[in-house]
Amino acid sequence: MALAIGLAAAAPAQVTGPARVVDGDTFSVGAERVRLWGVDAPEGRQVCQNAQGLDFACGDAARDQLVGLIGGRGVRCEVRDRDPYGRAVSRCVAGSTDLGEAMVEAGWAIDYVQFSRGAYASAEAEAHRARRGLWAGRFETPSTWRAEARQARPVPASPPQAGCVIKGNINAKGRRIFHVPGQEDYAATRIDTARGERWFCSASEALAAGWTAARR
């Protein structure tokens, strides 16, 4: 009995259920936010170049790939860690598909060697050889893009009036999205009024102006 209890206590945490995809390596299962272990996909606002050298929203393309891989099925995740944002860093499957491996094989995520220790190196090498996904053109690694984006952000404009703290951001694809305090991307979002970005005093005001609520 004691041995059985000890084995149960040592078993890894599991997250299972329907998934709502946020981006190419992140989704929600109920109230739990899950980050795929061992891979790194383009950020939601990241822009890459395709085989013809034209810009495209690779973050959106990666998100769509993950949506397709899950295909409306429930996911089963083994939680391995928690990241600084509180997300459950997990190795996940939908049916028999390892989602992290499949994303790398399709060329829409890279092997995050810093954490995976090369678990998906062969899948990445095959995607690179076949010029799939990101490898068909040119791209910055997501970690490099994040670092450069942090350095390039302009000094945030101040809200036009007290209490108007909702941030109306325009992403790389021209989508108008608003972020409210407490959301994951709120602190990182900077408002550049010269680009048409703006502050709102309420969510209803933002919606009435044609902006969409951020997913995270």
Positions annotated as catalytic residues are: 35, 43, 87
Alpha carbon distance 94, 1 (integer Å)? 33
Alpha carbon distance 122, 108 (integer Å)? 15
Q: Are 90 and 80 in contact (CB under 8 A)?
A: yes
Alpha carbon distance 108, 135 (integer Å)? 8
Question: Which of 93, 72, 92, 62 lies closest to 172 in space, CA to CA?
Answer: 62
Tell how far CA 165 is from the center of its chain: 24
Q: Which helix (H) or strand (E) is 203 found in, with range?
A: helix 203-208
Q: Which helix (H) or strand (E) is 35 found in, with range?
A: strand 32-36
